Structures are given as structure tokens and as C-alpha cells.
Amino acid sequence: MHLDRQLDSPFHVPAATGSIVKRFDTPERVLVFDHGRLEIITIGGRLLGRGSYEPGWRWSSAAGTVTRGVHRPADHVGVVLSGRARLVVEDGEMDLTPGDCFHLSTEFDSWVLGYRTVEVLYVSGVEALVTRLHRE
């Protein structure tokens, strides 16, 4: 078993199972952009991401505009951990708050509301986010 930290809990997994525990404290990759960052780890063959967005952050500024045939919508699933953000999609808008789970499969815009950093755990579609956010 490979552990990035020792577990002192009743959920400790014996070494024989081949399990892995990772933390976002030591991400494998970090993308930093204006007013935000995306930390990425791989676990169980899947990418997980933690996005941290400060006041002033806006998806359309960080990811740029969609060019048909070049960019696809960043299809992804996540849960808001902290802060508050406005989400605007084709058919309306709403505020995302801690505990809200979402699946976005269409083009959208989003930005931080208020003065608190928004943190999001992405459980699916991290590759699409990296593609849109990564700038050489």
C-alpha cells in the first residue's frame, strides 16, 4: 500500500489491499491562471481536480471564448465545497453554493460572487477543463 500520509482512523486499510491514498496538498499538476488555480491528482486511474477561484475570477476570462470546431464545451461534474458563484447557461442562471452538485455539458459562464474564494471538487471531466484552461 502506498500512502502519502499515515491514517490514524478506523478506516485504515491494510497494506495487502494495494490501496492508494492521495491528498490535494501535494497535487501532481497545478494550473495557475488569473484569480484561480486547478490542482489535479490521479487516483484509481481517474483524474480528480480541485479548483480554487478568488473574487474577480470568471470562467469566460480564464477559458477564453469557444471557437466552433476548435473547442467543445468543458463537460464536467463537480461539487461546490465553499464560496458562492453565479452560473449562466443558455436557458437561465442560478447561484451555486456549498453542497451543490452539478453537471455541465453545454457552454456556460460562471464567476465568483462576494468576497470568499470558491472551491470546487471536480469528479469527472477534468481533462476537458485542463484543455480549456491550459495555455502554453
pLDDT exceeds cutoff 50 at 28 = yes
Residues 89-115 pLDDT 10s? 988 999 999 999 999 988 889 999 999
CB neighbours of 54 closer than 8 A, spacing ≥ 6? Answer: 35, 36, 112, 117
Q: What is the pTM of this model?
A: 0.80
The yes or no reply on domain 24-133 and CATH 3.40.605.10 is no
Q: Collapse the DSSP code of 11 into the 3-class scheme (helix H, G, I; strand E, B; otherwise coil) and give the result.
A: coil
Burial of 92 per CB tally in 10 Å (0-12, 13-18, 19+): exposed
CB 33 within 8 A of CB 133: yes
Give the start-to-end residue ranges of the domains of the chain. Answer: 24-133
Q: Which band of pLDDT confidence, cut at 50, 70 and 90, is reported for residue 72?
A: low
Residues 38-59 pLDDT 10s? 999 999 889 999 999 999 999 9
Residue 106: predicted pLDDT: 87
Phi-psi map region of 44: left, alpha, beta (phi>0 left; psi -120 to 50 alpha):
left
